[in-house]
Chains A and B, each alone.
Chain A
């Protein structure tokens, strides 16, 4: 890649969402803004290698995109929210915008993408596309959706933003907690999609960005810390393509810089005295990561944190984590009893639930039942490395007792 191309790519990641937000804010036309911006980036890739990268690349891209939008509005009444006369006003307004002058433009776009009027399952992909400029071919596989289907859903969502006039503004104090929750949930969704390893870093980027834009919100910092703690272990969780579970990871492979940043972020969040789900999850990860310093895992602390998490956000995942912690502190029987208290239908299709059950059964000497539980976990895993690890565990069960 040439320097100019590399620079365009870098600017794209950092500026894409901000420029989309600025171009679409008044008209609500995200698709139109993206088209114009796509043209501007294409132009940049042609011109920058010859003419050099401009001093203010954002402003350059904004001007080109703006002119593109103007051309299109002249040729057709594209802007439904404000046709004809109003289009002139909007153009004048966009022209007056300094792309570096509104730092929270991307933040507003995040709230648009995670608006309750947008279908919950589209929010995460919409955010990845509109804020980061990722294409459907990259996003689709992670959500196990064919690109054409995903593209359709995204088009529909953008149309809704425009036609229903979802505002590009920050929610008022009254609605902020639930709206912010939806934004954080959507970012977390990008981090935790099963097939989406390449999206994990994008989610970390988005949560970092949120932490920079809303440094006064404890849960924003909580999510930031959670994703940093969890992603710091990525290199240790896959060694030469093999899956390595947390308990067996070489802590020397954990990303110390990331862990340090996570600790600082969580401490800042904790000082605000507004405890929430993401801070509790981050705290659980923090205890796990302390193993790098102390050499052991404080399961009692983890068990305690899960009690808080179950009071705040009682999900199946949290209940399974709690059962695992109970198993470590009070023995496998107690862990199994905790598992049996979880709603059976939800647990039946929960892969980690079966993996934890298998582990607890094996520790309790119930080898036959453990093998069956490993099989259930295997049936629910699509990740080849995780499957290989589960089969190895099952095969390692003492054969004479099966």
Chain B
């Protein structure tokens, strides 16, 4: 069963992180990805640029409208995601609880609409 973990956190918390902090964070995510791969549950991931780089587009209403910024302007913003393949929700939650960002943000766990 595939689950996607959406990583939300408050970007303001990282406004002035040092290079050392950044390196530490990258190492932590690297180790996490390593653990996911070793357990054979890793499918995909990406780490996203801050939401100020986001552009939102819609054709809803018939015309093409492009807008600066993320879809929802909330305090906590999507910063990355993981796609995992695990047995069930409990397993997905256990992996989510090991994601480094869970200590400073929220991880939303969603099941795939196309179970194998």
Interface of A toward B, CB cutoff 8 Å: 80-83, 115, 117, 163-167, 169, 171, 175
Tell me which of B90, B110, B113, B115 contacts A166 (CB under 8 A): B90
User: CB-nearest residue of chain A relative to B2?
Assistant: A165
Instruction: Tell whether, in the assembled complex, residue B90 and residue A81 are in contact, meaning their CB atoms are under 8 Å apart.
Output: no
Q: When A81-B1, A117-B89, A171-B90 are in contact, do A164 and B115 touch as well, CB less than 8 Å? A: no
Q: How far is the CA of A163 from the CA of B89 in the complex (A)?
A: 10
Instruction: Tell whether, in the assembled complex, residue B111 and residue A163 are in contact, meaning their CB atoms are under 8 Å apart.
Output: yes
A-B CB contacts (within 8 Å), total count: 32
Q: How far is the CA of A54 from the CA of B93 in the complex (A)?
A: 44
Q: How far is the CA of A165 from the CA of B89 in the complex (A)?
A: 6
Ranked nearest first, the 8 interchain pairs of A and B with the lowest CB-CB distance are: A167-B88, A165-B88, A164-B111, A164-B89, A165-B1, A166-B89, A81-B115, A167-B90
> In the complex, which residues of chain B have a beta carbon less than 8 angstroms from the beta carbon of A167?
87-91
Q: How far is the CA of A163 from the CA of B115 in the complex (A)?
A: 9
The DSSP consensus for interface residues of chain B is: mixed
Question: In the complex, how many angstroms separate the beta carbon of B95 from the nearest chain A beta carbon?
Answer: 14
Given contacts A164-B89, A165-B87, 12 further A-B contacts (CB under 8 A): A80-B115, A81-B1, A81-B115, A83-B115, A163-B111, A164-B109, A164-B110, A165-B115, A166-B89, A166-B90, A167-B89, A169-B88
Q: How far is the CA of A82 from the CA of B109 in the complex (A)?
A: 20
Q: How far is the CA of A169 from the CA of B115 in the complex (A)?
A: 20
Question: In the complex, how many angstroms separate the beta carbon of B108 from the nearest chain A beta carbon?
Answer: 12
Q: List 13 A-B contacts (CB under 8 A).
A: A81-B115, A82-B115, A83-B115, A115-B89, A117-B89, A163-B113, A164-B109, A164-B110, A164-B111, A166-B88, A166-B89, A167-B88, A169-B88
> In the complex, which residues of chain A have a beta carbon less than 8 angstroms from the beta carbon of B115?
80-83, 165
* Most chain A CB atoms below 10 A, which of B90, B91, B113: B90
Q: How far is the CA of A279 from the CA of B20 in the complex (A)?
A: 50
Q: How far is the CA of A82 from the CA of B93 in the complex (A)?
A: 21
> In the complex, which residues of chain A have a beta carbon less than 8 angstroms from the beta carbon of B89?
115, 117, 164-167
The 0/1 profile, CB within 8 Å of A marked 1, for residues 77-116 of chain B is 0000000000111110100000000000000011101010
User: CB-nearest residue of chain A relative to B90?
Assistant: A167
> In the complex, which residues of chain B have a beta carbon less than 8 angstroms from the beta carbon of A164?
89, 109-111
Question: In the complex, how many angstroms separate the beta carbon of A78 from the nearest chain B beta carbon?
Answer: 13
Q: How far is the CA of A169 from the CA of B89 in the complex (A)?
A: 11
Q: How far is the CA of A151 from the CA of B91 in the complex (A)?
A: 29
> In the complex, which residues of chain B have a beta carbon less than 8 angstroms from the beta carbon of A175?
90
Q: How far is the CA of A82 from the CA of B114 in the complex (A)?
A: 10
> In the complex, which residues of chain A have a beta carbon less than 8 angstroms from the beta carbon of B1?
81, 165
> In the complex, which residues of chain A have a beta carbon less than 8 angstroms from the beta carbon of B91?
167
Tell me which of A115, A165, A171 contacts B111 (CB under 8 A): A165
Question: In the complex, how many angstroms separate the beta carbon of B47 from the nearest chain A beta carbon?
Answer: 25
Question: In the complex, how many angstroms separate the beta carbon of B107 from the nearest chain A beta carbon?
Answer: 13
User: CB-nearest residue of chain B relative to A168?
Assistant: B88
Q: How far is the CA of A83 from the CA of B111 in the complex (A)?
A: 16
> In the complex, which residues of chain B have a beta carbon less than 8 angstroms from the beta carbon of A81?
1, 115
* Most chain B CB atoms below 10 A, which of A115, A164, A166, A171: A164
